[in-house]
Structure 1
């Protein structure tokens, strides 16, 4: 056993299946909790599940299961219990009274992963905000919980000392962070407005966590976004230039992975990250065609796009990992999709060509102009800001005939109209 494995916390996962959750969905959800635990550097040593008509108001799982967990924790020398749901402050407090072990819920686990992954100042601020908002109503239970074991899963980010200070301190810190984030968001929105004014077409790459977005983002833009087979590998928003086969340049934004039951504190905290999606002219929705619950993933992303009020933006679907796709896989998005894999040579140009064709069909309008050779500045602008199909020079009249495609609301459109 190497040192890295030695320091991993031993986790017992706890799930409660309620009547409205199908067996299949419950099974996927527990598998996802296990993957989240691995991403947070934990080792799953056991899983405890039960079916109930409703969650127990006091302890979520009921007294009998609490006793069972108590014995199991002792027998397996577990370090942490992770619940596959968001526990209420009173449930967390009651469980902490019964069980002499650190207890966290799914929301805390996701927040912890985000704290580990955040790299930029904005990302760190947003995570601290989400953690403080989550911990504020749970302070009394957390005191018992956090004093038991220092460090590890569920305690990264603001840290336990901050969580145990008084509510006023936390409220003041929340206010401070909100002021700092407002400044960051203003800067980001000015930058987006400038891009819009310059007529740069913006594309957002979205998808369920671990669908392969960052891998493709790197191939498409030659960037160095973090890519690994872990949930939430990407956290901070990243935007890079992508050049399409015609030479037309667009801006591509990588986004944080979507997930089922994404905590509301996170949707609020990462609104500016997801605003890249709302401002996009086109959404590339990437789906892992090798995952057994690919349809559930697709539905989750669509639902979250609706919540973000981004469901009116044109969507082009990419079914990724075609080299590992399931035998029963059926694409559900009609004509506007492509099957692809980052591991297959030759898929990159095909992917870029498909994006270009979709953009031409859905977002751009065609134009044909005759520009005098003396209009060098305008010709250069046409080259950099529109998608050129063909250019012909007519010597007799010393004019360039240019055919191409352009965003209808672009500033340069007014200039072109004079020469149509």
Structure 2
């Protein structure tokens, strides 16, 4: 059930089972942050410590009775559960508490639905929600259609009709197939665009990491300094999942070196598997990147858990073997000296007023994505002006002068580019 955006947040209670999980407190804290991101006010949190959930009700019967009383006293409209529940658990909890139940997966899907802006993101979210809803269709809908048509319910047609539940399942199945078909078309277009960028030999860098770690802020700082279109900034909000769509920006450094930078959707623990598959195409920029930058909130005491979540999610999506820089952002919040580089890690602040943090990050990026570039001397005939234009756009032209044979240039470029014009090398 979708929450409606009004001036007053929806009052909710969050609940969770502690199954001897050392990270349980953080998980509940994150659940409350997710609820707030969905314009909800968490009025209280109810937890229970058990060895395993009750099969049919999640909580024990005594705790459910207490939960019902608390929900009524607090005038809560929803109960948000810290785990993904089975359809029967949701039904039983709703019946016993008299409140609508939203599990963690349903909450995350609802946030994504409210935050999606592009056509692709909306399709992906709709697909994920339909796949989540399909096994949760209520059995109360199992009423025979032939019993509602007024045909008398005679012996000849008894049991032959289609139930409302079966009809709804077929309808959802058709919608899922239609959306998958549309997304295939979108994915084909994105693959063509990605292939064209690869042909241009412009290196690609992707920002990945936990939601609300500061990826979009870093992208905006880089665009402000070196972007080709400064007005194209990414949305920045102090909330989970402020960015759902992949943002790609072209950056040009003072030495004319260029690279593409993408800001991808943030991760969260217990990310629904429906979204992992649905957002496979959204994260294609990360899968095809020459370098990944994992952005970590250095001020969060749970940062190690966040890093594990990020790496686990990347692995689930088949993204591995790509060089990575780890950026520990928001060092200013804990009074840590910055910027400090240690190997492939950088402690920094995207809000650094001196720009030293961003400069240090760009230097690290440049050292890694241009590692395989080579410097050569070329003589380009005057009738091959398009090659000069191409090199000026896509390579680092260090020196140029004119001679009787043509334009003599010293250029820094990737080897695949040289292979196409090697006949002009001297």
TM norm. shorter chain > 0.5: yes
CA shift at 1:334, angstroms?
5.1
What's the RMSD between the two structures over aligned residues? 2.6
CA shift at 1:359, angstroms?
1.7
Whole-Å Cα distance in 1 between the matches of residues 185 and 402 of structure 2? 52
Report the counterpart of residue 414 of structure 1 in structure 2.
420
Matched-pair contact (CA < 8 Å) for 1:28–1:293? yes
Mark the CA change 1:354 to 1:417 in structure 2 (over 3 Å): closer, same or farther: farther
Matched-pair contact (CA < 8 Å) for 2:381–2:405? no
- Describe the SS at the equivalent of 2:249: strand
Report the counterpart of residue 259 of structure 1 in structure 2.
268
CA shift at 1:392, angstroms?
5.1
Report the counterpart of residue 298 of structure 1 in structure 2.
307
The partner residue of 2:92 within 87, 91, 94 is: 94
**TM-score, structure 2 normalization:** 0.85
Report the counterpart of residue 357 of structure 1 in structure 2.
367
Matched-pair contact (CA < 8 Å) for 2:56–2:92? yes
Mark the CA change 1:397 to 1:172 in structure 2 (over 3 Å): closer, same or farther: closer
1:108 aligns with 2:114: no
Whole-Å Cα distance in 2 between the matches of residues 71 and 265 of structure 1? 34
Whole-Å Cα distance in 1 between the matches of residues 204 and 336 of structure 2? 35
Unaligned runs of 5+ in 2: 142-164, 224-229
1:343 aligns with 2:351: yes
Mark the CA change 1:18 to 1:326 in structure 2 (over 3 Å): closer, same or farther: farther
Matched-pair contact (CA < 8 Å) for 1:394–1:400? yes
Count residues in correspondence.
390
The partner residue of 2:212 within 202, 210, 213 is: 210
Deviations 1:104-150 (A, max 9, x none): 0111110011001101111111111111110111111798xxxxxxx
Report the counterpart of residue 134 of structure 2 in structure 1.
136
1:371 aligns with 2:382: no
Whole-Å Cα distance in 1 between the matches of residues 73 and 406 of structure 2? 88
- Describe the SS at the equivalent of 1:381: helix
Matched-pair contact (CA < 8 Å) for 1:316–1:358? no
- Describe the SS at the equivalent of 2:283: helix
CA shift at 1:66, angstroms?
0.9
1:172 aligns with 2:174: yes
Deviations 1:146-185 (A, max 9, x none): xxxxxxxxxxxxxxxxx99821211111111111111111
- Describe the SS at the equivalent of 1:272: coil
Q: Which has the larger radius of gyration?
A: 2
Mark the CA change 1:301 to 1:210 in structure 2 (over 3 Å): closer, same or farther: same
Report the counterpart of residue 309 of structure 1 in structure 2.
318
Matched-pair contact (CA < 8 Å) for 1:93–1:142? no
**TM-score, structure 1 normalization:** 0.86
Deviations 1:335-356 (A, max 9, x none): 0122222211223333323321
Whole-Å Cα distance in 2 between the matches of residues 280 and 128 of structure 1? 27
Matched-pair contact (CA < 8 Å) for 2:395–2:411? no
Matched-pair contact (CA < 8 Å) for 1:245–1:353? no
Deviations 1:242-261 (A, max 9, x none): 12232212111111001111
Deviations 1:42-78 (A, max 9, x none): 0010011111111111111121111111111111111
Unaligned runs of 5+ in 1: 144-162
Whole-Å Cα distance in 2 between the matches of residues 306 and 180 of structure 1? 26
Matched-pair contact (CA < 8 Å) for 1:369–1:416? no
Report the counterpart of residue 251 of structure 2 in structure 1.
242
- Describe the SS at the equivalent of 1:409: helix
Matched-pair contact (CA < 8 Å) for 1:93–1:141? no
Matches within 5 A, 1:34-49: 34-49=32-47
Whole-Å Cα distance in 2 between the matches of residues 392 and 168 of structure 1? 67
Report the counterpart of residue 384 of structure 1 in structure 2.
393
Report the counterpart of residue 195 of structure 2 in structure 1.
193
- Describe the SS at the equivalent of 1:242: strand
